[in-house]
Structure 1
Amino acid sequence: MTGAFDDLLAANEKYASTFSHGDLTGRATRGLAVVTCMDSRIDPLGLLGLHAGDAKILRNAGARVTDDVLRTLVLAVYLLGVDRVLVMPHTDCRMSKSTDDEVHRLIAAEHGIDTRSLEFQTVRDQEETLQHDITRIMTSPFLPRTLTVGGALYDVHTGRLRLVEPPRP
């Protein structure tokens, strides 16, 4: 593995030479958690006008509210100052262009790996899925009813957010 990360270590040396965030506490100073996709076109802090320390950023394929996201939100709310959550999937997402079955077949055909024991949680309808995931947070017995939860779709081609109306109780 020697050499595989040399570019990253060199970049880190440069970053560390001017590092100025050592006084941050780990709490979300803006009280925000963002659930978004792992897509590398998304810069959650930049697109929301945030800085290091402002928010907790939770990323996974498709910006899905999984059990692990709920676990992390519980910690963020009760221990790290979060009082609002934005669920933010994006346009042109690979997770919205396939079904789980198609992904399983593709990986098996191209790589010979049987992934059928995994649930990829692909997205048939982004707005419907976003409503579902917001509801999942709002109805979690582990999160306070006072938690503000919203959703927005990020357009990777324009950089703009479009708020999505939260589900009605």
Structure 2
Amino acid sequence: MSAFDDVLAGNAEHERTFTDTGMAGRAARGLGLVMCMDSRISPLDMLGLRPGDAKILRNAGARVTDDVLRTLVLAVHLLGVERVLVVAHTDCRMTKATDEQVHATISEAAGIDTRSLEFRTIPDQRATLEHDVQRVRSSPYLPAGLPVAGAVYDVRSGHLEVVVPEA
């Protein structure tokens, strides 16, 4: 028995009915999304998109890290992304603790010292979203004037509120 038997069985079923669409690897609607990894959120459904419409980058808290910026540079210059939306969400675990608390919790639960990691918890979601949108806007590797906005998705209502409009 493998820890992955269930997902490999799911893939076998997927493969059985799979048809190659011939879809290109570009973002058909020119959209780059930076989102939280929260499994309650389905980015395509949330925005009325279809597979292939957007490049979706997900991490804890929808943070614009160096790796997210690197990926956005590739997406913009090589994969058809022409606009970027950073989407935080309500009831995000990253807004409910400090980095120090997360380190302590992991240390107590698993006996692991994680202090060399920066978890980028979020003390003020709107301020953090504004900061992360500005990181994208100010990147010297992305085109000046690239439309970038920030929004908060409500996991209970499905509503998306733009809180950092495109400049």
TM-score tier after normalising by the smaller chain length: over 0.9
The aligned counterpart of 2:141 is 142
Alpha-carbon distance in 2 for matches of 1:59, 1:158: 21
Shift of 1:110: 1.3
The aligned counterpart of 1:74 is 73
Alpha-carbon distance in 2 for matches of 1:155, 1:108: 31
Give, as a single letter, the amino acid of the residue that structure 1 aligns with 2:59: N
Shift of 1:5: 1.3
What secondary structure, in the 3-state scheme, does the structure 2 residue paired with 1:142 have? coil
The aligned counterpart of 1:95 is 94
Bigger shift: residues 63-72 or 137-146: 137-146
Alpha-carbon distance in 1 for matches of 2:23, 2:31: 15
Shift of 1:53: 0.5
The aligned counterpart of 1:43 is 42
TM-score, normalised to structure 2's length?
0.96
Shift of 1:167: 7.9
Alpha-carbon distance in 1 for matches of 2:29, 2:15: 24
The aligned counterpart of 1:19 is 18
The aligned counterpart of 1:123 is 122
Alpha-carbon distance in 2 for matches of 1:51, 1:17: 21
CA distances 1:108-139 after superposition (whole Å, capped 9, x unpaired): 11111000000000000111000000000000
Tell me the number of residue pairs that the alignment of Structure 1 and Structure 2 aligns: 167
What secondary structure, in the 3-state scheme, does the structure 1 residue paired with 2:50 have? coil
Shift of 1:87: 0.2
| Conservation of the 8 A alpha-carbon contact between 1:33 and 1:82 | yes
Alpha-carbon distance in 2 for matches of 1:53, 1:165: 26
Shift of 1:143: 0.4
The aligned counterpart of 2:154 is 155
The aligned counterpart of 1:132 is 131
Bigger shift: residues 12-21 or 78-87: 12-21
Q: What percent identity do the matched residue pairs reach?
A: 62
CA distances 1:15-60 after superposition (whole Å, capped 9, x unpaired): 2223234411110000001000011001001111111110000000
Query: Any stretches of 5+ residues in structure 1 without a counterpart?
Result: none
The aligned counterpart of 1:3 is 2
Shift of 1:10: 1.5
Question: CA RMSD of the aligned region, Å?
Answer: 1.3
